[in-house]
């Protein structure tokens, strides 16, 4: 169940971050409210997750997988350019998450 909470934390944090551009610097009410609610839920789910998952592993997964998802969303939905360097960076972040998980499993 702890990894389920972590997956929810990642999902709602990615949803909130995806809304950031729509807030126009927190000047638009509903996108701003969506971001704040999403971040609050992300922290709630993360707090539940770290009851059983080591904090370092949970945070590595949250930040790494969240970063990869945001890069993909930016490229697909927000028209942000992808470069070989950006893709390589995301691959290295994911590799780091995998290594931390392998180290945390022992």
Q: 77-98, pLDDT tens digit by residue?
A: 989 999 999 999 999 998 988 8
60 pLDDT tier (thresholds 50, 70, 90)? confident
Rounded Cα–Cα distance for residues 67 and 86 (Å): 11
Least confident of 18-27, 31-40, 43-52, 91-100: 91-100
Q: Which domain holds residue 16?
A: 2-104
Number of domains in the chain: 1
Q: Tell me the percentage of the chain whose pLDDT exceeds 90.
A: 77
Residue 106: what pLDDT? 45
> For 79, which DSSP code?
-
């Amino acid at each position: 169940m702890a990894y389920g909470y972590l997956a929810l934390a990642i999902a709602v944090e990615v949803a909130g971050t995806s809304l950031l551009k729509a807030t126009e610097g927190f000047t638009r009410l509903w996108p701003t409210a969506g971001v704040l609610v999403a971040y609050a839920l992300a922290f709630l789910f993360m707090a539940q997750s770290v009851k059983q998952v080591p904090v370092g592993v949970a945070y590595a997964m949250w930040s790494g997988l969240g970063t990869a998802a945001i890069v993909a969303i930016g490229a697909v939905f927000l028209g942000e350019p992808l470069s070989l360097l950006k893709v390589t960076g995301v691959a290295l972040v994911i590799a780091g998450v995998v290594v931390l998980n392998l180290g945390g499993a022992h």
